[in-house]
């Protein structure tokens, strides 16, 4: 049989979605401050090129995952866009990221944060080939803040945060994003946005089993601020090996808890996160794994298992690489 052409492939995907999406119930949602409902599970695509992103995100949608997380910096927006094209736009929650305000790579000059963010937001939409996204977030605090490890205690820091955020607010008001937020933001960055018109709705941070339930006070801090946390590297991805943490995959705790529920160690680690009401972004290039990643709501952890997981410490990780020395307790809410 000849390989189906583009139209044929689209039909196959739609058919497989009709078969699968009707039988697999969509993940539960959390409600953002503006009423937008965000699924508790997303398929990510960091470290994937366009073609792997297309394959993996298409597979994720086909097994019933209804949310994708990508970023302009991942360089795979066109692949994600091609995967999106096979599904009705309103069936998928699309999240993307624009780079934190930074330096021009060739001249090393500081960029105009407002104009640069406007430009990045528009190119993100056009690469994804959609008329709106469900959520767009600022990928990280201004790059210059990595030197001081704080947004607000160096000259010009807050100005950069505010200029970038102004472009985000405008994009939201134009209806091009249903919600706006940040990623890797530190409490000092929010200090710069105290008088913003629209406060960030989401902060996507590193959060996974082994970090405890309130690393650096970020969980309680964001709860008080009304900012929804979202977890990335939720399986403790090793950025060099590009794989989930050994402790999560093969550690005694996740393995033994998984066994007693006939679930995998990864499912235990993912369930621990989403049970806290924190949406998780994971990724896989393997459709069987993606299907497992979605099966988090047909079973329950016992109270003793949950306590053991809460108290587990390893692998280490800090919520934000941009402010690893900053804890929420230094900041007054
Ligand atoms: N905002 C930020 O700065 C930021 C930073 C990092 C990540 N993120 C986002 O968060 C996403 C996830 O984080 P991450 O990429 O660091 O990866 P991760 O979710 O911590 O780990 C991904 C790895 O887990 C494996 N995996 C997934 N499901 C599995 C299963 N059921 N059984 C066994 N192995 C499984 C996958 O391997 P296989 O392919 O072999 O299944 C994959 O290599 C990213 O893709 C990105 O969208 C955002
Ligand atoms: C994309 O990545 C996959 C997996 O690493 C690789 O096999 C493929 O050759 C890459 N494609 C391109 C166009 O680089
Ligand atoms: C973008 O989407 C439109 C449909 O909305 C489609 O006709 C067009 O081919 C897509 N463009 C690309 C480059 O995929
Ligand atoms: C800024 O704050 C961070 C931690 O909040 C601290 O480590 C750093 O030394 C401060 N920098 C300056 C220039 O005060
Ligand atoms: C994990 O289990 C193995 C075999 O049952 C045991 O040898 C090892 O000490 C355990 N490790 C931890 C950290 O409990
Ligand atoms: C355990 O899970 C596997 C895969 O999800 C399934 O095929 C099998 O039937 C399950 N076994 C029991 C005893 O439930």
So what's the pLDDT on residue 11? 39
Nearest in space to 188 (alpha carbons), one of 296, 32, 324 = 324
Q: For 37-48, give one letter per residue: b (16+ CB within 10 A) or e.
A: ebbbbbbbbbeb
So what's the pLDDT on residue 24? 65
**Cβ atoms of residues 72 and 120 within 8 Å:** yes
Euclidean distance between CA atoms 87 and 288, whole angstroms: 21
Interval between CA 251 and ligand 5 midpoint (Å): 8
Euclidean distance between CA atoms 193 and 168, whole angstroms: 12
Regarding beta strands 228-232 and 135-138, do their DSSP bridges make them parallel or antiparallel, or are they unpaired?
unpaired
Q: Pick the residue whose CA is nearest to atom 5 on ligand 1.
A: 232
Interval between CA 35 and ligand 3 midpoint (Å): 30
Q: Pick the residue whose CA is nearest to atom 7 on ligand 2.
A: 52
Which residues form the catalytic set? Answer: 74
**Cβ atoms of residues 22 and 64 within 8 Å:** no
What is the CATH number that goes with domain 29-311?
3.20.20.100
Answer yes or no: is the C-beta of 129 below 6 A from any ligand 3 atom: yes
Max CA pair span of the chain? 66
Nearest in space to 71 (alpha carbons), one of 105, 36, 101, 47 = 47
So what's the pLDDT on residue 301? 98
Q: How many CB atoms lie within 10 A of CB 94?
A: 23
Q: Is the omega angle on the peptide bond into residue 153 within 30 degrees of 0, that is, cis?
A: no
The ligand 1 atom nearest the CA atom of 236: 20
So what's the pLDDT on residue 109? 77
Answer yes or no: is the C-beta of 245 below 6 A from any ligand 1 atom: no
Tokens of 39: 């699924």
So what's the pLDDT on residue 284? 98
So what's the pLDDT on residue 106? 80
So what's the pLDDT on residue 330? 66
Contacts of 119 (CB under 8 A, 6+ apart): none
Tokens of 270: 């993912």
Q: How many CB atoms lie within 10 A of CB 77?
A: 24
Cα 325–chain centre separation: 22
Interval between CA 289 and ligand 5 midpoint (Å): 25
**Cβ atoms of residues 230 and 97 within 8 Å:** no
Euclidean distance between CA atoms 165 and 303, whole angstroms: 41
Contacts of 195 (CB under 8 A, 6+ apart): none
**3-state secondary structure (DSSP) of residue 1:** coil
Euclidean distance between CA atoms 200 and 179, whole angstroms: 9
The ligand 4 atom nearest the CA atom of 154: 13
So what's the pLDDT on residue 328? 75
Q: What is the mean pLDDT of the chain?
A: 90
Q: Pick the residue whose CA is nearest to atom 37 on ligand 1.
A: 284
- In which residue ranges of the chain is pLDDT below 70? 1-24, 325, 329-333
To the question of whether residue 139 is assigned a binding role by annotation, the answer is yes
Q: Where are the alpha helices (DSSP H) in the chain?
A: 6-23, 50-63, 77-84, 113-128, 145-148, 157-173, 187-191, 218-225, 246-250, 252-261, 265-274, 287-294, 303-311
């Amino acid at each position: 049989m000849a390989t189906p052409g583009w139209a044929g492939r689209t039909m196959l995907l739609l058919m497989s979605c009709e078969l699968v999406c009707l039988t697999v119930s969509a993940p539960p949602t959390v409600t953002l401050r503006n009423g937008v409902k965000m699924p508790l599970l997303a398929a990510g695509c960091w470290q994937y090129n366009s073609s792997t992103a297309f394959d993996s995100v298409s597979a994720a949608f086909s097994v019933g995952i209804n949310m994708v997380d990508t970023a302009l910096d991942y360089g795979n927006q066109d692949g994600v866009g091609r995967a999106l094209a096979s599904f009705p736009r309103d069936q998928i929650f699309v999240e993307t990221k624009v780079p934190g305000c930074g330096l021009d790579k060739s001249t090393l000059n500081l960029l105009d944060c407002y104009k640069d963010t406007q430009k990045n937001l528009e190119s993100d939409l056009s690469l994804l080939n959609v008329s709106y996204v469900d959520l767009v977030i600022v990928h990280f605090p201004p790059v210059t803040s990595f030197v001081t490890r704080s947004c607000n205690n160096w000259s010009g820091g807050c100005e950069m945060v505010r200029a970038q955020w102004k472009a985000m607010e405008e994009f939201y008001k134009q209806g091009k994003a249903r919600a706006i937020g940040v990623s890797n933001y530190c409490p000092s960055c929010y200090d710069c946005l105290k008088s913003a018109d629209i406060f960030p709705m989401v902060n996507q941070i590193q959060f996974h089993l082994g970090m405890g339930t309130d690393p650096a006070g970020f969980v309680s801090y964001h709860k008080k601020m009304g900012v929804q946390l979202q977890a990335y590297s939720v399986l403790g991805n090793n950025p060099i090996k590009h794989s989930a943490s050994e402790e999560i995959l093969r550690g005694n705790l996740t393995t033994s808890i998984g066994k007693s529920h006939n679930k995998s160690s990864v499912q235990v680690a993912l369930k621990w996160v989403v049970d806290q009401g924190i949406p998780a972004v994971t990724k896989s290039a393997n459709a069987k794994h993606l299907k497992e990643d979605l099966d988090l709501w047909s079973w329950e952890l016992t109270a003793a298992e949950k306590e053991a997981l809460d108290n587990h410490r390893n692998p280490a990780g800090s919520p934000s690489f941009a402010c690893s020395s900053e804890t929420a307790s230094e900041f007054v809410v």
